[in-house]
Amino acid sequence: MAFAGRLGVSKVAQSIVHTRNYNLTKISAAAAAAQASGNKQLNVRDALNSALDEELARDERVFILGEEVAQYDGAYKVTKNLWKKYGDERVIDTPITEMGFAGVAVGAAMAGLRPVCEFMTWNFAMQAIDHIINSAAKTLYMSAGLVKVPIVFRGPNGAAAGVAAQHSQDFGPWYAQCPGLKVVAPYSSEDARGLLKSAIRDDAPVVFLENEILYGLPFDISGEAMDKEFLIPIGKAKVEKQGKNVTLVSYSRGVQTCIEAAKELQKLNVDAEVINLRSLRPIDLDTIIQSVKKTNHLITVEQGWPVCGIGSEISASIVEGEAFNYLDAPILRVTGADVPMPYAKGLEAMALPQAHDVVSAVRQCLNIRQN
């Protein structure tokens, strides 16, 4: 594992500003392969890689730093081949110090660069939370709008498989509470490409929450989504499946759970609408409200803990707003168990919401008796 030295902000800025020019018309190998005839799918890992590749080529101010992102191609290979293509000046291996390299990245953003700061897992970002919130999120406000911090903090978030309590936390609700941050959580390959490009181009600090389990999943992807200028607006949800009986709202891997549950619900003649939030701050309440007005029932799904979760925020917003009078039953939340994540495989599965848990919640919401 190769590490860069402890670079000051001025040295990083100098090395990036004087970087060599790249062919801006060239797209990544993954993107080119997806555009080729006969290949209409792209997994999330390659979608992220292609977005990073194209943004590095488009804007010389963009650079990536983090542990093992360069010569090792990233712990999850999201940055594969980028160091070979762009070199030490644009893809930087750091020492194992989240607080240190996050601080360097924030300083570089204040100096006019556009860093992409990778955490090997968001659990390790707890070491850097002071820089994310007190430095990145608050500087625009504290400088009266004079100092922007265009930075993306990204990496895998939430439960993976068999990584126990200290590596399975969902940080979505944590960061979604903080003004000054934008928080996104992609589900599909289209989400990954469009949201990451938007995040890198945004002048605000963006917390970009990926999921390790989703990295290798292939998704259908359109030619439009493979365009170099394809952007998904931060703060706009997507209706993954239209329905008329109940609204299921989730994000990241939870969307997959909702889609699986929707298929099971069809056997009960229940037509579920599935909303992929994509963005946790801001939350697209308008899309949820319009769905609730149609289905009259709402269930939120997330892998994180129930206390102060995204589902809690959505529930409060709906109850306090215009959609409350359209509800025919109480809002229900399906969440992870309120315990540190167990290591044992069977207990881990019980601690995370499964499709059958969502189906049970829908049965309760719609008063459908068990056979």
Question: Strand, helix or coil at 37?
Answer: coil
Tell me whether domains 9-226 and 238-366 share a fold. Answer: yes
| The pLDDT of residue 21 | 35
Question: Strand, helix or coil at 341?
Answer: coil
89 is catalytic: no
Return the domain boundaries, the chain: 9-226, 238-366
- Fold for the domain defined by 9-226: Rossmann fold (3.40.50)
297 is catalytic: no
| The pLDDT of residue 31 | 52
Segment-wise mean pLDDT, segments of 10 residues, the chain, 371 residues: 32 36 43 54 97 98 98 97 97 97 98 98 96 97 96 96 93 97 98 98 98 96 95 98 98 98 97 98 98 98 97 97 95 97 94 97 92 66
Q: Which of 60, 68, 167, 302 is catalytic?
A: 167
Whole-number Å distance between alpha carbons of 204 and 132 = 12
Sorted by sequence, the CB contacts under 8 Å of residue 258 that are 6+ apart come out as: 240, 248, 249, 250, 272, 274, 301, 358
Q: What is the CATH number of domain 238-366?
A: 3.40.50.920
Q: Which of 67, 98, 240, 273 is catalytic?
A: 98
User: What six digits make up the tokens of 309?
Assistant: 């979760």
Whole-number Å distance between alpha carbons of 156 and 167 = 10
- pTM of the predicted model, to two decimals? 0.88
Q: In angstroms, what CA-CA distances link 263 with 256, 268, 350, 360, 364?
A: 11, 10, 21, 13, 17
- Strands, sheet with 279-281, edge to edge from the N-terminal-most edge strand: 91-93, 62-66, 114-118, 152-156, 206-210, 182-184, 279-281
Question: Strand, helix or coil at 349?
Answer: helix
| The pLDDT of residue 7 | 33
